[in-house]
A and B are shown apart, each in its own frame.
Chain A
């Protein structure tokens, strides 16, 4: 089975801190994605990557950056965490860019205080 592993299930950070969310997949997928999920707003795409060192903005990239130095690892960075970034963050990977067979991680619930 494809596995997507997110480094933390729960995280509490202070306003202004730099936050790193890590995601690793073990199936050699080219594509990786970061979503955030909020009640009433569904799943919103932050950033995605089709290849190492490649990144594309999603629907809500403001306040975030990403890094993909290795194929299996995709990191989401909150440069200066704010309370409105309190959310559930979901990483996903897929072999194609068409939404086929996304595999999601278990999510990281981030609270910014």
Chain B
């Protein structure tokens, strides 16, 4: 069964850089890796997406190694408002065909 893993939780302080890694051993060849942010009582919100190497936008960077079996979301200089749960989403090939799987989510707590 396809499995996507992330650390359950992370703590950080304001102003630090935070890196959250998602492991996805059986990622589908042609699919993107997407990251979402979720605040309590809200739906997940799109942050960033990439296929390989590095992608950067105004809120985050995404690093993807050549084998694409993992990806790292990088949040520069976090603030208290970045406290949320972060999910990766990948397409995976498993015994049931192609499937899109969310990671279990990483709860980031930013402390003052």
Q: How long is the Cα–Cα vector from A4 to B87 in the complex, in angstroms?
A: 19
- Taking a contact as CB atoms under 8 Å apart, the answer to whether A92 and B34 are in contact is no
Complex CA distance for A42 and B31, rounded to whole angstroms:
21
Are A104 and B44 neighbours in the complex by a CB distance under 8 Å?
Answer: yes
Chain B proximity of A100: nearest CB distance (Å): 6
Q: Chain A interface: which size bin?
A: 10 to 19
- The contact string, 1 if C-beta is below 8 Å from chain A, for chain B 33-64, is 01010000111111001000000000000000
Interface 1/0 per residue, A58-86 and B, CB below 8 Å: 01000000000000000000000000000
Interface string of B79-112 (1 = CB under 8 A from A): 0000000010111000000011011110000000
Q: Does B13 contact A (CB under 8 A)?
A: no
A32 to chain B, nearest CB (A): 13
Closest Cβ neighbor of A107 among chain B residues:
B43
8 residue pairs, one from A and one from B, having the closest CB atoms: A104-B43, A43-B102, A99-B89, A42-B104, A99-B100, A98-B31, A104-B44, A99-B34
B residues adjacent to A (C-beta < 8 A)? 30-32, 34, 36, 41-46, 49, 87, 89-91, 99-100, 102-105
